[in-house]
Amino acid sequence: MEKLLIVDDSPEIHQQLKWGLKKDYRLLQAKDVGEALRLFRSHRPKVVTLDLGLPPDADGATEGLRGLKEILSEAPATKVIVLSGNEERENALKAVALGAYDFYSKPIELAELKTILQRAFHLAALEEENRGLLQATQAEQRSMSGIFGQCAKMEEVFTTIRKVASVDVPVLILGESGTGKELVARALHDNSLRKDGPFVPINCGAIPENLLESELFGHEKGAFTGAQSLVKGKVEYAQGGTLFLDEIGEMPAALQVKLLRFLQERVIQRVGGREDIEVDVRVVAATNIDIQQAIGGGRFREDLFYRIGVISMELPPLRERDEDIFLLAHLFLHRYSGEFGKKVRGIGQGAREALRSYAWPGNVRELENKIKRAVVMADQPFLEPGDLGFVDTAPVEEPAGDAQAGMALDYEGLTLKEARQRLEKELLLVALEKEDGNIVRSAETLGVSRPTLYDLMKKHGVQSG
């Protein structure tokens, strides 16, 4: 349900509009400009009705026009409908010249005002979707090897890639699961002097320990049971290009020693072989674990860390990329609606609220999967929370005036980042309690992988037992 901010110093007007509009909108009501701006900044409604005669200048228009300028300076796309008496027509026209969407002369006829409001919300939604599609198109044009983002933290990532790509040194990419570490590795390769050579990825955490050495370095014929022929490893296949060691933090200790020798001497020996084979590859590694903690706990060699981490870069989680959530959502929506032949035009208000408030433990990968699912499931031109797999709960009518300021409860005074982190921890605790500490079932409840759940538990200091 859309939010509508009503700014008027008349209790009768507030009562009339509350009675007539409460079934259609979530009403935010203010009696003066200060209260109106506080509510506007907290809730960001797309449409505002604004009386020009507000205290302390109830007989003039200075306060109303000041409120109009403040709102439009912070959110120029807001549709402000000025409510005025017939004798205030000149001021109403002045408000329109300053950027107000429309004006309506009192006394209010609810049926007429409802029509104006419907048009305003419809236009606001269309403009928002057009902005989203335009941003998505622009992002595709300036993307770096499939990496999209416009927030400050991602601009830092792009800057680092440009600086580091052409310098032939090892790079260690840090970040949670789903943040796009392999995409960054590919971007480093695509923008390097080795771009015409192969890019060879290997996930060190997905291959059993007894097979990982052979996958990396290859094996000779007869090296072990079943080794019926000579097989080259990933390192040799990456000759002249880039070797991407994903989840290197999961590499067994014994293999870390052999990898260190390769990095130091640039030679390998296949399993079962004695011949030194020279290789020329650039190594880019990635991990989602706390590498310093792993070193301190003896699970990862410090000397290997210094070899692979000549340059270290950290990718921000999606929950810290507020500006990018809707950009990415529109990108995925455009991609999959075309791929599946679905006529999905945009993202409805309820779905937008759900996307904005969700903690995204699975990061960009989870967002992409949710949008992909939503495009498949959607029956309407605009996505709804249920399409995304969120529970679509009925909105609660918000009280007017100062009472509304208390609606934030425990989240009062928190930044958006702090509120999301608190919500993330609360959801984690609820899932673990519900599943009696069972990691597998708790991960399924939250819709994340077990490694991601362990990361979240570590991040928030939560124990399973």
Q: In tens digits, what is the pLDDT along the chain, a chain of 465 residues? A: 789 999 999 888 898 898 889 888 999 999 999 999 999 998 889 999 999 888 888 878 888 899 999 999 988 889 999 987 756 778 888 888 889 988 888 888 888 899 999 989 888 887 777 676 666 555 554 557 778 888 889 999 999 999 999 999 999 999 999 999 999 999 999 999 999 999 999 999 889 888 899 999 988 887 777 778 888 999 999 999 999 999 999 999 999 999 999 999 999 999 888 889 999 999 999 999 999 999 999 999 999 999 999 999 999 999 999 888 988 998 899 889 889 988 888 888 788 888 988 999 999 999 999 999 999 988 888 888 889 988 644 343 343 433 333 333 345 556 666 667 777 787 888 778 777 777 877 877 777 777 778 778 888 878 765
CB 46 within 8 A of CB 121: yes
Name the token pair of 252. 């067994």
Cβ(160)–Cβ(197) below 8 Å: no
**156 phi, psi to nearest 5 deg:** -65, -40
Contact residues for 74 (Cβ-Cβ < 8 A; gap 6+):
40, 41
Q: What CA–CA distance (Å, rounded) separates 347 from 367?
A: 13
Q: Which domains does the chain have, with CATH numbers?
A: 3-131 (3.40.50.2300), 152-316 (3.40.50.300), 319-388 (1.10.8.60), 413-460 (1.10.10)
Alpha-carbon torsion (342, 343, 345, 349), positive or negative: negative
Q: Are 230 and 218 in contact (CB under 8 A)?
A: yes
Tell me how far CA of residue 90 lies from CA of 93, 194, 331, in angstroms. Answer: 5, 68, 45
Tally the C-alpha atoms within 13 A of residue 121's C-alpha that lie toward its C-beta.
Answer: 18
Quick one: which of 48, 105, 124 has its CA closest to 81? 48
Which strand (E) or helix (H) includes residue 245? strand 242-246
Q: What is the rounded distance in angstroms from the CA atom of residue 260 to the CA atom of residue 278?
A: 15
What's the whole-model pTM score?
0.59
